[in-house]
Amino acid sequence: MNNFEKSPLMAVRDFIDLGLDDIAYIKPVVVENEQQFAIYTADGEEATVLPDRLTAEMAVRDNDLEPVSLH
């Protein structure tokens, strides 16, 4: 048996709590036929949609969070 099989699995809530205060996800979205970028909190709630990725990253960093890409 390898170490992976012995280690306990993390619940979805554990993963959410892990980055809850540290990260925000940025995901490209299409709004009215235009590509924009949505920012999501670590628990999956949409915070806002901004017109470009740079603005989204700056907004995340301005709130002392680390931006992470979602595809």
Q: Tell which residue, 20, 26, 51, has the closest CA to residue 36.
A: 51
C-alpha to C-alpha distance for 38 and 35, rounded to whole angstroms: 10
* H-only helix segments in the chain: 3-6, 12-19, 53-62
For the stretch 3-54, pLDDT in tens is 555 556 667 666 656 656 788 999 999 999 999 999 998 878 999 999 999 9
Q: Are 49 and 29 in contact (CB under 8 A)?
A: yes
Tracing tokens 């540290």 back to the chain, one arrives at 22
Number of Cβ within 10 Å of residue 58's Cβ equals: 13
pLDDT of residue 62: 96
pLDDT of residue 7: 57
Reported pTM: 0.71
pLDDT of residue 43: 79
pLDDT of residue 31: 96
pLDDT of residue 22: 85
